[in-house]
């Protein structure tokens, strides 16, 4: 059914695995469309109460797919097409945020950019002790979008949200836990196991009260979020087409292409 993810349901727990390991589970337009469709499918499942999202291979996700030409100001596309593609990340994150089930991210290796944006849209984040998080968008010449800034402010406060988004720092697991960016730590390779343990705790509770509480918290936390994010897809198209953004992406591609010294 899907080409870029797998969906496994065992009992009341669904596990969604991003399956682009050669691309480090980078968020292509195709993957984001599948994630939106998967969220829609799960939202109507009354037999599923917890959903865990994880990545295959060495990481959760390396973020936006810089090799996906359709996402980066393709002038052969109409403005309508470019806006639809630019909006995919926002639609994906919002679809997952609005799931009625409790949602968890199991983060091994790293969650960068769009990968962290997706994780921030979920209810809780389980992170491996040796993993790291980063939001490099501004260093690539584009603003942080997908509705992520309001979520960051809710998680870590305004000053830390600015620090994460503007300085593009790598955040180690201990620091991420201390600032509230993640909720649980796990030994390397054990995030899925820990997430399943948390899921079991959720399943032991009255499901309707759990869902009502999630809805109330999300309703309060998201007040004003749409106003802050509704034009972000236009901002990213404008910024991505600028000379400074193109130069930043080219420099990033060159750094990745250079062989590492041993």
pTM as predicted: 0.87
Give the separation between CA 213 and CA 148, rounded to whole angstroms. Answer: 22
Residue 82 neighbours by CB under 8 Å, 6+ apart: 73, 74, 237
Identify the helix (H) or strand (E) that includes residue 14. Answer: strand 13-18
What mean pLDDT value characterizes the chain? 89
**How would residue 49 be classed by pLDDT, with cut points 50, 70 and 90?**
very high
**How would residue 113 be classed by pLDDT, with cut points 50, 70 and 90?**
very high
**How would residue 149 be classed by pLDDT, with cut points 50, 70 and 90?**
very high
Determine contact, residues 220/137, Cβ cutoff 8 Å. Answer: no
133-145: average pLDDT = 90
Using the predicted structure, report yes or no on whether residue 256 has a pLDDT greater than 80: no
Using the predicted structure, report yes or no on whether residue 101 has a pLDDT greater than 50: yes
Determine contact, residues 9/43, Cβ cutoff 8 Å. Answer: no
How high is the pLDDT of residue 243? 78
- CA neighbours within 13 Å on the CB side: how many for 144? 28
| Helix/strand/coil percentages in the chain, nearest 5 | 50, 15, 30
Residue 163 neighbours by CB under 8 Å, 6+ apart: 169
Pick the most confident of 23-37, 80-94, 131-145, 222-236. 23-37
Using the predicted structure, report yes or no on whether residue 214 has a pLDDT greater than 50: yes
Give the separation between CA 125 and CA 122, rounded to whole angstroms. Answer: 7
217-227: average pLDDT = 82
**How would residue 262 be classed by pLDDT, with cut points 50, 70 and 90?**
very low
Tokens 């593009």 found at: 168
């Amino acid at each position: 059914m899907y080409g870029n993810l797998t969906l496994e349901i065992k009992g009341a727990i669904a596990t969604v695995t991003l399956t682009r390991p050669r691309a480090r589970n980078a968020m292509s337009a195709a993957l984001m469309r599948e994630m939106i469709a998967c969220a829609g499918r799960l939202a109507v499942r009354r037999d599923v109460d917890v959903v865990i999202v994880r990545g295959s291979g060495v990481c959760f996700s390396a973020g936006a797919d810089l090799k996906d030409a359709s996402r980066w100001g393709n002038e052969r596309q109409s403005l309508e097409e470019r806006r639809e593609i630019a909006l995919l990340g926002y639609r994906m994150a919002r679809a997952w945020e609005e799931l009625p089930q409790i949602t968890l991210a199991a983060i091994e290796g790293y969650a960068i950019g769009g990968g962290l944006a997706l994780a921030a849209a979920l209810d809780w984040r389980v992170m491996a002790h040796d993993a790291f998080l980063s939001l490099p968008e501004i260093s690539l010449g584009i603003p942080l979008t997908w509705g992520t800034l309001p979520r960051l402010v809710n998680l870590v406060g305004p000053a830390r949200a600015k620090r994460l988004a503007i300085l593009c720092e790598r955040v180690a697991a201990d620091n991420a836990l201390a600032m509230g960016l993640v909720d649980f730590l796990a030994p390397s390779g054990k995030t899925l196991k820990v997430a399943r343990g948390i899921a079991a705790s959720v399943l032991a509770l009255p499901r309707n009260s759990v869902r009502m509480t999630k809805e109330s918290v999300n309703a309060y936390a998201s007040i004003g979020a749409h106003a802050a994010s509704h034009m972000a897809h236009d901002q990213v198209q404008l910024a991505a087409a600028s000379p400074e953004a193109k130069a930043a992406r080219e420099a990033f591609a060159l750094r990745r292409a250079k062989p590492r010294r041993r």
